[in-house]
Structure formats: C-alpha cells, structure tokens
Amino acid sequence: MAPAFLSLKDLRRRSRASFRTENSNDTSSDGTLSHETNDTTPSSGSLTPPSHLSDPALNLQVKDSNASGQYPAQAQNRPMMVPGGNSSRYSVSGMSGLGSPAPNGRTNLPVSQYAPRVQNIAENAWVYQKVLLLHGTIGETEQNHLEGTVIVSKLDDSFPPTSWPVCNSHFKALVYLQPGPNKIRIEFSSPKLANSSSSNPIHVSYLTLHMVPSLNAPPLQLAILLGKDSPGIFDATPSRAEREGNGLDTAVKKFRMAAYLWQAFTAEQMWRHKLGRRTFRFEEEWTSGSANYRDRESGIMRSEARVHIIRSDKTVAELQDLNKAQQYDKATDKNALFDIASAAVKKHLNPLPGQKQYVAVLLLDAHWDKDVKTIRGHAALGGGSGELQLGIFGSHSLHSYPGCFEEVVPAFTDCTPTDTAYVANDCNEAGSSWEAANIGIGAHLHEVGHLFGCPHQEGGIMLRDYVVLNRSFVAREAYSTRTKSKGGLALQADECGWHRLDCLRFRAHPAFRLPNDTPTNPDESVQAFAIDGGNVLAVAQTGISFIEIYGEGDDVCRAWIEYIPDNNSPIQRQVTMIEQDLRARLPEAKRKGRVKVSVKSHGGGSLDIDDFKAFASKQSSVKLPGGKVAFRCKSLGESKMQGSEPHEVVFTSALKQDRVMSRVIVYHGSALDGLEFVYDDNSTQLFGKRGGKEGGDTFEFDVRRGEYLSGFVVRAGFWIDGIQLLTSLGRKSAMFGKAHGGSAHTLIPPRGYSICGVAGTCGAWLDGFSILIKH
C-alpha cells in the first residue's frame, strides 16, 4: 500500500504547484511600433492615449501646447489589461487536465503569458456605441512573432463567438455591445502553443465594458433610395449573387454593417485624439438580428440600426441618366441626384420645424454600364443646409461589403479580381474585392464627414486615405492591385484616420454628445471685434474651440490653434488673435500674403474673417470726439440687397454725460427695418428705416435703476431677420421681426468694453448689422 504522503489528492496538489514559475512584472506600453514597408504611402496614425479605469469622457481633454497647432504624436505609457482581475502573469506549460472552468466562465488556471493583451481600452471602461474596435498583442511582441486566432465571446452568450486572425502577435477585433455591463472573453489559439486545441485552453483574457447609449444626441439616419419602379437589386457577379444574394434584404444587412464599421472606426479615432470615445449613434428598431450568422439562422430579434427604405418619384432610368452630371464636365446640373435624394428624404422623414436630420443615403440603383464604362445612378456628395444634412453614395461596391461580423475579415482580405463585365472598378482603385470594399465603405464615410461639416483636409478620410480603411480592421493586408504590393503586417501607424481638425469638429457637434456632457449655451455663434494694436478679439458664449489659419491660396487648412479645455485649462470664451502670431504658424512661403482665419466655437458655430489684416485695420474703427476710437464687430447679414447703403449711429449717451437712453423703438415686419434710440430729452437717432409695423414696438429702460442697453441677440442670414434687446439688469425684450429666421448671434461687448453705437447697411430693410464698442 502506498504511503499516505503519496495519496492521489496530494500528488495532484503538488504536481500542480510544481508547474508555477516566478511572477513576472512585464507591462505593456504603447510606443511607436515598427512596421513593414510596402509600396503604399502609409497614413500617419496617432498613438492611443493611456487607458483609464473611470469614464474617460468625464475629464479627458487635452491642452494643446504645440505652437504649430499640430497634434503631438508621442508614446504614452499604459497599464496592460488585467485579465481576471489578477495583475500577475505566469508562464504555464500545457497540460489539458489542469483546473476546470468556474461557474462564471472564468477558469481557475494561472494566466498564460500568451493571453491576449488589449491595448486601446481598460477593464471597466465606459463606451457609448454598439460596435467597439479592439486592438492588442499576444505576449511580448519583441520576443514573439506568433500566428493564430483570437476568439472573442460574451460570457452570457448573448452574441456568438467571432474569430479574428493574429499576425506577428498583433490582432484587431470587433465587439458587439449591449447596454449595461458586457463581460467579454478573449482567447488565443495557435498550433505552435500547448493547450490551444484542448477543451480547456489557458491563453485567455477577460474584459468588462459598460455600454451606455448616447440618447441625448441626434442620430445618423441610414436610408436606401430606390427608383419608383426599381426591382431592388444591386450589381454583383453571378457567383456572388447566387451565394449571398443581391436583393434589398442583403443590401440592408451590408449597409448596416458598413455603418457599424463607420461607428467603431470613428470612436477609436476620437479616443486616439484624446477627445473621449465619441461617435455618432443610429436610430434603432426591434428587428431580426443581422450582425451574425446565428441570429439569422435562429431568427433572433435585436435592436439594430434602422435602415429606411425610400422610394423616389423618379424611375430607375431617370435616376441613372441624371448621374451624367457626376461623370462629365459638360453637364450643367451636378447636384441633380443630391437634390432628388434630399426631396425624397424630406418627404419620407417629414421633420418638424427646427428638427435637424443627419442622413446617409445609399443609392441602390447605381449600375455599372460596361459599354460606356460609367457608373450610372451614382453620386458622391455630402453637405446640406437648414433641416437636412445629407451624404449620398452609390451601391456599385456593395457586393464587396461584409454583411455581418463573421464576414469582416474575409471582406477585407478577399483578393478576388474585380470582374468589370458585371461590377465597377471605381476610379481604378478597386481591382480586387477587398479594395472595392475600401472604396465603397470609405468613400461613403467621406461623404458622412461632409454632412457633419468637415471640409477636405490635407490628410485622412477627408482626403482619400480611406483606400487603406481595411488596415483598421485586420492585422495583415492582402495583395493590393492598386499599389502592386504584397501587403503585410498592418500596424496603427499604417492605418488611415480622421484628421485632427475633423475630430475637433466632431467634439463640438451635437451628434457626438455623450450622456455626461454638460449642457451648453444654446447660442453657438462666434463674434469678432477689432481692437487696439491691430488685434482681434474672438468671443463665443460656448467658448472658443479652435482657430483655423489659411495662407493666401490655401484650399485646405495646414495650421491651427486649439483651446480644448481640461482640468488645468477652463473654457476660453474670449481669445485675442494677434496677426504676427497667426502668420508665424503658417509655412514661411505663406507668411506675407493675405491671411484668413475661421474661428470655431464649442457649440459648433463658425466665423470667417477672409482678410485678417484688413479687418483689424482702421477700416473697422470709428473716431469719436475727444480723440477716442470705437471699433466695429464682424458684420452680420450679407449686405447685398439692391440699393443697400451703409448706415452708422454713435449713441448720444456715449458722447455726452448728461444724456441717458430711455427707450428703443423697433420697426419690423417679417424682417428688421430699423431702430430708433430715444433719450431722456426726447431727442432721437434713427438707424435704418421706419417700416413694417406702424409705429413699431417700444422697449423702455428703467433709468431710475441705472438700466442701460448692454447688447443684442440678432437673427440673421442673408439679411437681418429679427432682433432682441439685452439690458444691464439682465432683462430681455421680445424677439422683434422673424423670431425663427436666420441663425441666432449674441452681440455683447467683450470684457473691458461697452457698446457705444450700431452700424450696418440698409436696403428695403436692414441687411447688415454690427455694434460699435469702446473702452
């Protein structure tokens, strides 16, 4: 009989302990990683900021200390993800019989040194979108060059496991999140490692993420537009159409998945720019799940991004003929398809007055005409005004899109040559299926950028960097027909991205608001005042976000100044612009020409000064008696009405100490006709005309309490639609004129100045307005 100390129980206990090694204290950092060189020109990626255990959007803002305005790209140290709540890692040999799964899904095994390390998000982080992009490594990448697969699964099995390839120890993966806590298991397997193929794998990490949908932000609507007689099919090769279909149901799945990729990509880019994990949300509906194969097979219902199906009042033939405007320079109407889509969307959504809609439209009837080598029924346009912001794009690349999570990697690595007998090779940059997916998904995202207010940039999505969009979702790039390169490892530095200026715009956009953002002043406008010394004061109620600086002839911005608040730097509501400083930020060749600035507010407002030197010169000043000088603010309105003439009034009360303004008579109808300022001696000054309502409306000041005029709220567009008077005691008059016309602008003198008059232009009514200020 065996001795007691050799009992089976003790033997197992001692054997298990004998496999442990000493604790290692390796950590993960995010320095600049080397990458393989190919024939493509890699886009400059920015580094991922450090992870935080609390909600990053609460206090994660960056103070720009770079004098050139460029976003500093430097390595940031980051604590590695802590799998299973244990900060120690162990080197474990493979024995399939060790340990057993715990009831909560986490194993009792020591953590393997090959457990996946997620680098761009921390345990218990808060996110605000449905689809999240992860990237990470297996072990120490300097020591290991492992190939294999990462399997991402939810511990509650609310979403089926998905597989993502590992290339040279790097991986990228997507996670489908639901509101509340999401407990995620990330497992690595490789034929070169023990336990990879066993029923009890040990190369596993765990991550808990909390998702809160940002329901306080307007959604990006998704819509598919068809002709009124459209059969609802899109271009695809016969083999592909037979395998996965090319009807309307397939189009909805593919378009929805492309939108999820937009969302995940944008959130990751905003995080890398240290602006919080912000992205747009979608309107959702309770429908059959389409994001994975299991949902489709089992008929699982989910809350998915809604795709509106809109029928145009035009036939397919009419739509396909209209796109000649996009294909030929001799065409006269280059916005025909955009206008048709805009009218159809407005009719379908029927927005309420003041309800702004943001809509990405897929033109399903876009068709490759191989005979004339033209994509008919296609237009790539984004923008809009008023109540609708729209981005449209054709469906000619839709055949290459993934339709669910399991198809993302195959879609971005499929080297099947583009058969131009059936489908288009768009701009000769879509010679293979994965490159067609880049062009279709990426170029449509470019138009979404336009609908959110982004102009073209010197780099990023708003240039044409989306031709490498695939690199954000796969760790290895396939052979490229565009560059004739064999591809290879795709690291963060090789990816495309949103330009820093795009991200700053998104930071201020209402569609990118987070649930814990503080409410902002409803007046998003920016005002500018020329002051002493040739300087200009920019003022915004919501604060100044950034200032773009353009040299003469520049069509894109290459220099800017940021004023992003953080814990050490509050919101800047008043900023002084100095011409010498602005010129110094431009390239040397641009410093002597005309300088244009565009001032952006945190509320999303914008003010352009086309010639900074001219605006800051004496032409913006008015000489007052006694040698004093008053300064004009940037004028509102276009001052382009027929017969429009300049008009200016310096208040008598600002020139004479014994006069007090007692009331203002406002003349208005559906626009502002004029203002009459009345003093305590019954003398008057008229600015504009006595038109509109007979006798006008009168606003009285409480002169006994020392109340005086302190500013205006002006509604202006092409002309001056309406005006509201503000007083030193905090009172406001009614909005005289058209209360909802144009856009609102608050004109209040900056600190240290007071209002001393008004100026502008007047035609049939007032079409230009500004205030005069003095020390």
In three-state form (DSSP H/G/I as H, E/B as E, the rest C), the secondary structure along 531-598 is CHHHCEEEEECCCEEEEEEECCCCCCCCEEEECCCECCECCCCEEEECHHHHHHCCCHHHCCCCCEEE
DSSP state of 718: S
The span from the CA of 250 to the CA of 416, in Å, is 20
- Give the CA-trace dihedral at 592, 596, 602, 606, to 10 degrees: 180
Give the contacts of 445 (CB within 8 A, at least 6 positions apart). Answer: 262, 265, 461, 466, 469
Give the contacts of 359 (CB within 8 A, at least 6 positions apart). Answer: 220, 221, 222, 223, 345, 349, 388, 389, 390, 391, 451
588 catalytic per annotation: no
Closest CA to 426 of 379, 478, 383: 379
Catalytic residue among 268, 407, 447, 477: 447
From residue 259, how far is each of 222, 307, 347, 366, 444 by CA, in Å? Answer: 8, 10, 23, 19, 10
Residue 470 token pair: 């695939």
Give the contacts of 570 (CB within 8 A, at least 6 positions apart). Answer: none
The residues with which 485 forms a beta bridge, in sequence order, are 480
In three-state form (DSSP H/G/I as H, E/B as E, the rest C), the secondary structure along 720-751 is EEEEEEEECCCCECCCEECCCCCEEEEECCCC
The span from the CA of 348 to the CA of 283, in Å, is 15
Q: Which residue has tokens 């004496």? A: 618
Residue 615 token pair: 């605006």
Beta strand 125-127 with 204-211 is parallel
Strand locations in 15-101, DSSP E?
29-30, 76-77
CB of 538 closer than 8 Å to CB of 607: yes
Give the contacts of 122 (CB within 8 A, at least 6 positions apart). Answer: 51, 52, 53, 79, 81
Compute φ and ψ for 503, nearest 5 degrees: -65, -35
The span from the CA of 470 to the CA of 437, in Å, is 8
- Amino acid letter, 62: V
Closest CA to 129 of 177, 180, 161, 60: 177
Closest CA to 542 of 599, 595, 496: 599
Residue 492 token pair: 């963060």
The span from the CA of 399 to the CA of 417, in Å, is 13
Return the active site residues.
447
